[in-house]
Structure 1
């Protein structure tokens, strides 16, 4: 009998949908301490700039620094980190970067224009953002893949300047992160983190210029700071815990499915790993594999808590039902672990990324497949998309109205403006009539 605590559910049970919705529900608990700390930090950085950033870096990261000069890394240090990598590390980083770049180059938007019969010209001008801030976690939680996934689409879009912030608690610098910054062409790197780094990017300081958008993951303080500065600058998203949903027909390997569930669960105890399967016997095999493989995992305690808290193995009656549930769940990552996986892509409307077939493991998407690994969570795939080149470009409407066009459009605008009670709008349009 299986010992790992993970829910076993059946879609035919009377209360299944309410049970599923409760399992999916995630509300980040409001923490008064985080709220108060972020409020204080944002205000201090906005008011005193560099001095506040230096003080918070000394306090939180244990760095004995006196000025921002000591917190900016020269490009030579990034290149030195790149040179210090083992050959296989450098090759892997380069291959991943090249694949991410090729994929995102296909997303680049272009300006366009068309001309109507009366000479009116309408169009759209696509312009890259001037300056973007990239937050990268530091210390033990160091993710060079985050540098690739955020910096490369920004550079492909044509962003003028990319400023990276990465905390280095107690002076710990991750050479892979710095090497990734070198490979992707990050312009400036500051060894600062937390809400103070977000504030510096959002408001600008004497040393760090204000950016137009902040992207990249962080802890609860970083997430709250990003939420607070939205409007002053743009942000990518405030992401929730990582998620994977696997749809299986029992044709795959139980060990593979178990490990794919682990791969999400090891992020943290709030991560969500769910299996939808038409084969009850295969669900038993997956559960047995979980029991057998879990003791071998270095992060087994985190995985076990995640599976117990928010995981589920669900028996469904058909693949049609599985796809309908997948659209209800709208997962960050969806694996179609099916014999005829291609046939079922059209049934999926809501997912951050779809991994098709038994070989398309989600872990490859995290690092080197090419598409972005910054994906919508908490069911937001119903209305939002992966991070991409388009997130670093803005679109401006271009309107050239010919004299002939103004005669027709002016009448239309006049009627609608009077209907809204906006007489100045109407007169403005009418003054162009029969000039």
Structure 2
């Protein structure tokens, strides 16, 4: 979009595009470091995605050290060493509490929330600090074009033409597109020479057409181990290679936490955390989810309990043991998959039925068809290739004076505040580097 001819160019030392978590954090820091900085946002208000995150509670970080954050990002985690050294999870908590946003750690999850349970307080704190910093924010001003201009950049917005010495892109990915995160930054960065790894949904509910899964709608299992298995890979992968990955042959990812059955398939932290492997598969329908419903009970322990009951409690129904572990309908699903009648008594349990029940309880299997896509995804996997960005400064290795931070980069972490932490840390480091 071309601005009106009467509009004169305005110049800034630094311009940040995208007023999400990363953009707000970077801009306020640039202002505090004495730089003439402008933050551009196409929405009419900043931090839109912050406002809906965590069910409008905003899980700002995780109660762990830097190593815990890095581990949540898998192989991409090593990219975050320098950003986390610049601003770690403890510093993020201190930053918000200094702005009057008291926090607490949710028991059992490690998630850090504002005591007020209001994401609005988080967004307001960032905006308030930005306003005090001396930086400027322009809302309802989408960027239409970005191009090199000498050693700096020229930006055309819906209202004017701008130039800057240094540019930071924090436009996020494509998750929750209703918030304005529609992948605008990918085209600009590709035009500037960057490689864009195909964006795909992450932290997204999974879909399944299994009838029995839908029949369990509303049931939550608080502690299960979920594995995404590629049956073809399981046949061909060498155990030594799988061990190097830290997983069994054919297992793409595994996560132990809570799982929720829904009318479309699976949700809850476990499903969301393993979803990156499903959306990254060429053919998600060939994958299988294996749910270990009893992660604290080994197969041998369960086998011994069934054997003992068969000799001492022969008249009891086998179902009673499983009903002691989880809801009746989940127990029925296990029996159905094991092909054992619900009313089977211990004295009647055959040699084939006992291992079948153990197998179903330790690896309740279901087909997946895919995910609910970007509209329901909390974050985006894929984005700008990490090997094209200097993690020590967040500056592009291809384009001098161009910086990147947050979700536009090719990393995505587990649910639990990890992704907000990565956004805050990469933004803080980018601002420090731009101010030097």
Considering fraction of residues, name the structure with more helix.
Answer: 1
TM-score range, shorter chain: under 0.3
Q: What TM-score do the two structures reach when normalised by structure 1?
A: 0.26
Greater length-normalized contact order (CA 8 Å, ≥ 6 residues apart) = 2
Q: What TM-score do the two structures reach when normalised by structure 2?
A: 0.25
